[in-house]
Chains A and B, each alone.
Chain A
Amino acid sequence: MLSSMLKRIARHGLTLIATALLGGLLATALVRLAPGFDVDEQQLDPHLNSESVQALRQKRLDQHNVFRFYFQSLRRAARGDLGTSLSLGQPVSALLRERAPLTLRLVAIGLLLSWAVAMAMAMSAAWLRVSAYDALTTVISGTFLCIPAAVLALLSVLWNVPGALAVALIVFPRVYRYARNLLAKAYSLPHIITARAKGLSELRILFWHVVPVAGPQLLAVAGVSVSIAVGATIPVEALCGLAGVGQLAWQAALARDLPLLMNITILVTLVTLLANSGADVVGHLLRGQEA
């Protein structure tokens, strides 16, 4: 049991590192191949003399070979140096350290709120089994599902509500849809119908019979919801003027800031993969305990 768990964790760890490194390489290659990559408007500055322009050109030349640039960056990253942002002129590690807490807070509060609302709605729909209520919850979540994430971000600015609420409103309909289907499926299982017929309390049915059935799948949804929340921070931070990693990613993409974009891609890939792998390992643990 323990060795299989360790093997699973090791496999996840290796996949995670390989995918994050490939993601970084992909972002580097994309930016390098983009039209206009070689153009640096600083070179047109009339205040710079020919030596400074030459130095700027030399700096760009170092980034010409994608693989060389990427592996040199990784070597530096191993020593804790993530490079310097081309557009903001600051060390990438400092930028990430400065902005990560806000994004983490947005993602954490957004996830907490979205899960609380989605689970409350899904559970009440599964308990009540009133078609009108079920239709109402489906309409509410469906409406939010049909509104672009960026519009929800704009509306949060308009109504002066916190960005975390916008993140929650983007994530909640997706979580609700899966949770409702999983709970409805679990509640229609023969042993749960029997438990109900025998007069067991709803709470006992929920925690003793429904959660063990739907739990591992809900954990998988939890892993995916982290990725959705991280993605939601981009429009929310960009449009609400919140200085987080989402806004930084947005600025890096617009400015074609290679070192910054590469590091953010690796970071985002790591976070989403960690969430999914964590959910998978915990789900495996739970299934192991049941067995």
Chain B
Amino acid sequence: MYRGQSGQWSWLLHRVTGLAILLFLLVHIVDITLIGFGPTIYNDAIGIFSLWPIRLVSLALIGAVLFHAFNGIRIILIDFWAAGYKYQSQMFYIVLVVTILCFLPMAYFVVAPIFGVCPQGSCSMTPM
């Protein structure tokens, strides 16, 4: 019933994405601390986020946050909507589709600068 079914995958993905987001959050709290040391140090340090390999890490983070957010709503619906448990596997597939639909346009904005396209008007691929 459980092993190998959608419930197991949603549980595992929820856990793995949650831990990955937490790891990024702890790093992010430390990197943002550098803003208290002035523009030179801060801009030098966060310039790393403009590089293409770190843009790919950002993509993974965005995908993880979107999945974790939408699957979290699914868990809440299972908990609070009396008939929710009957639709848990359908809701899992809805979560996957909505995650992909939100991810693709966001990914375009993050990845386009790698190919020299700036959808926002200005962007850079190298630390300033």
Indicate whether A and B interact: no
Residue numbers of B with Cβ under 8 A of A are none
